[in-house]
C-alpha cells in the first residue's frame, strides 16, 4: 500500500509540475510501459568516471565529443558520451535538478545540443538513493521530475547508481525510474547500476536496457582491491562473475560487467585481452580512457572493427567458456549466419604454445540453438587481431598465446 501511495503521490506531483511548466503534459501508467527498442546490440560509447571521477566539466565533455568524431570512434560505432557522477548542482525552488553552475555554466541543454551536432548522444548519471556516490543530490523522491528534466535537456542515456539507498527496494526503485523515463516523452537508454547486489539480471529485463553484474572495475588485469566497505575488481575477477549469467543477456537487455579500462595503464597484451573478452561476452563497450590523447596501440585495440563486429553481432548471444586447461580458457560465441567467434585466453604470466585442433571442439549451445560442427564442417578461419585469413579449420596449427593475452578467430562455414 505504501508503494502504491508513493507512486500516486509522485504521479500527482509530476502531473502538476508538468501542467504548470509544459504545454503538453506527459502521460504515464502505473505499470512499467513497454521498453523502447534502443539497444538491439550492446551500447557503445565513453564514460567519464574511470579516469576523471568527479573532475569533470563541460569543456571536457565537448572535447571528448570532438575526439570521438575526429578519431574514428563514431564511425566504429561508439555513440554515447556519458557524464558520470558530479555534474550536479542543487535543485531549484520547484525541486528540479540543475547543473553545477561553474563546471557546466552553459547548461546541459546546450551541451546536449553540441554533442548531438557531432552525431553523438549524451548520457547522464543519477542515483536511486538520497545522494549519489559522490555526495550530489540523488533522485529519491524526484524520479519524475528528474526524468522530465533529462528529456527537456535532450539526454539520451541514464546510468542509475545504488548508493545511499538504505531501506529502498531495488526492483521498486528502478521500476519507478523506468516509468518516469518512459513517461518523459523521450527515448532514453536505462542503465541499472546496483553492482549485481540485488540480482537485477534476474528481474530487470523489462525495466532496463542493461544492468551491472559486478562491482566496480579496477585498472588491473588480475587483482581485487579491498576498500573496507566495498571492493574493486580486476578484469579476470569481473570476467568470472559475469560469465555464468549469459542466459540473462540478449537484444535490449544486456549484462554489464562495467566500463572498460583499456588505455588506462595496463599492458597492451592485457588491454587487448580485456577488450576481446568484453566483445566475447556481448558486453556494452563503454570506454573509460582519455580518448583525446591515445597511443597508437590503444587506438588499434578500440577501433578493431572485426572484434567490434563480434560484440555487436545481431544474434545477441553472450559467449561461453567452453573449456579450461592449465590456465588457458577456450571461449565460443555463436554469431549470425552460422559463424562462430573462437577465443583462447591466457590467464597465466607465461607465454603458451599449443597445437590447436578445431575438430576437438564440437558442441551444441542450448541457449542459442546453434551447433559448432568442426568435426563435420570445414570453416574458413580469420584471425581477428592479425587481420589475416589462415588455413581452414580442417588443419591443425601451432599457436602461441602470449601471457595475459588472447588469440581470437572468426570461423565462417
**157/150 Cα distance (integer angstroms):** 9
Return the closest-CA partner of residue 249 out of 320, 332, 177, 181: 320
**44/120 Cα distance (integer angstroms):** 11
The half-sphere exposure of 279 on its side-chain side, counting CA atoms within 13 A, is 33
- Matching residue, cell 561553474: 102
Please provide the DSSP assignment of 14-57 as one string: HHHHHHHH-SSPPP--SSPPPPPS--SS--EEEESHHHHTT---
**277/299 Cα distance (integer angstroms):** 17
**389/336 Cα distance (integer angstroms):** 19
Q: Does 365 qualify as catalytic in the annotation? A: no
**5/46 Cα distance (integer angstroms):** 38
Check 84, 85, 156, 161 and give the catalytic one.
Answer: 161
**116/246 Cα distance (integer angstroms):** 33
Q: Does 405 qualify as catalytic in the annotation? A: no
Q: How far is CA 146 from CA 14, 50, 139, 256, 381, in A?
A: 10, 24, 7, 24, 50
Q: Vertex 257, ends 154 and 356: CA angle to 5°? A: 130
**347/249 Cα distance (integer angstroms):** 25
Q: How far is CA 90 from CA 15, 96, 108, 376, 385, in A?
A: 22, 8, 14, 65, 48
Tell me the backbone φ, ψ of residue 102, rounded to 5 degrees.
Answer: -95, -55
Check 85, 216, 290, 365 and give the catalytic one.
Answer: 216
Catalytic residues: 161, 216
Amino acid at each position: 500500500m505504501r508503494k502504491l501511495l508513493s507512486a500516486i503521490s509522485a504521479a500527482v506531483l509530476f502531473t502538476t509540475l508538468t501542467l504548470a511548466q509544459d504545454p503538453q503534459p506527459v502521460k504515464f501508467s502505473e505499470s512499467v510501459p513497454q521498453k523502447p527498442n534502443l539497444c538491439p546490440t550492446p551500447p557503445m560509447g565513453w564514460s567519464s568516471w574511470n579516469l576523471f571521477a568527479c573532475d569533470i566539466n563541460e569543456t571536457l565533455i565537448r572535447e571528448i565529443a570532438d575526439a570521438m568524431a575526429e578519431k574514428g570512434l563514431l564511425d566504429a560505432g561508439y555513440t554515447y558520451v556519458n557524464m558520470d557522477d558530479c555534474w550536479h548542482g542543487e535543485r531549484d525552488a520547484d525541486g528540479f535538478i540543475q547543473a553545477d553552475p561553474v563546471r557546466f555554466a552553459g547548461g546541459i541543454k546546450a551541451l546536449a545540443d553540441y554533442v548531438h551536432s557531432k552525431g553523438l548522444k549524451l548520457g547522464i548519471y543519477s542515483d536511486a538513493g538520497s545522494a549519489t556516490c559522490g555526495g550530489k543530490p540523488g533522485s529519491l523522491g524526484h524520479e519524475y521530475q528528474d526524468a522530465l528534466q533529462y528529456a527537456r535537456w535532450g539526454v539520451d542515456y541514464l546510468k542509475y547508481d545504488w548508493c545511499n539507498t538504505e531501506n529502498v527496494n531495488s526492483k521498486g526503485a528502478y521500476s519507478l525510474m523506468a516509468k518516469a523515463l518512459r513517461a518523459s516523452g523521450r527515448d532514453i537508454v536505462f542503465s541499472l547500476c546496483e553492482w549485481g547486489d540485488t540480482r537485477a539480471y534476474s528481474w530487470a529485463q523489462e525495466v532496463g536496457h542493461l544492468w551491472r553484474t559486478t562491482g566496480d572495475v579496477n585498472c588491473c588485469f588480475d587483482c581485487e582491491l579491498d576498500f573496507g566497505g566495498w571492493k574493486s575488481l580486476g578484469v579476470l575477477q569481473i570476467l568470472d562473475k559475469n560469465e555464468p549469467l549469459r542466459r540473462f543477456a540478449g537484444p535490449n537487455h544486456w549484462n554489464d560487467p562495467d566500463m572498460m579500462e583499456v588505455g588506462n595503464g595496463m599492458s597492451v597484451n592485457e588491454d587487448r585481452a580485456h577488450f576481446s573478452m568484453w566483445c566475447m561476452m556481448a558486453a556494452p563497450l563503454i570506454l573509460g580512457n582519455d580518448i583525446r590523447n591515445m597511443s597508437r596501440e590503444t587506438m588499434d585495440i578500440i577501433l578493431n572493427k572485426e572484434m567490434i563486429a563480434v560484440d555487436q553481432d545481431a544474434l545477441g548471444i553472450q559467449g561461453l567458456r567452453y573449456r579450461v586447461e592449465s590456465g588457458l580458457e577456450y571461449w565460443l560465441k555463436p554469431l549470425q549466419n552460422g559463424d562462430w567467434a573462437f577465443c583462447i585466453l591466457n590467464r597465466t604470466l607465461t607465454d603458451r604454445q599449443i597445437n590447436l585442433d578445431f575438430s576437438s571442439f564440437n558442441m551444441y549451445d542450448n541457449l542459442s540453438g546453434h551447433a559448432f560442427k568442426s568435426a563435420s564442417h570445414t570453416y574458413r578461419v580469420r584471425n581477428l587481431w592479425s587481420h589475416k585469413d589462415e588455413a581452414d579449420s580442417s588443419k591443425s596449427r601451432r599457436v602461441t598465446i602470449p601471457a595475459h593475452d588472447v588469440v581470437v578467430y572468426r570461423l565462417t562455414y
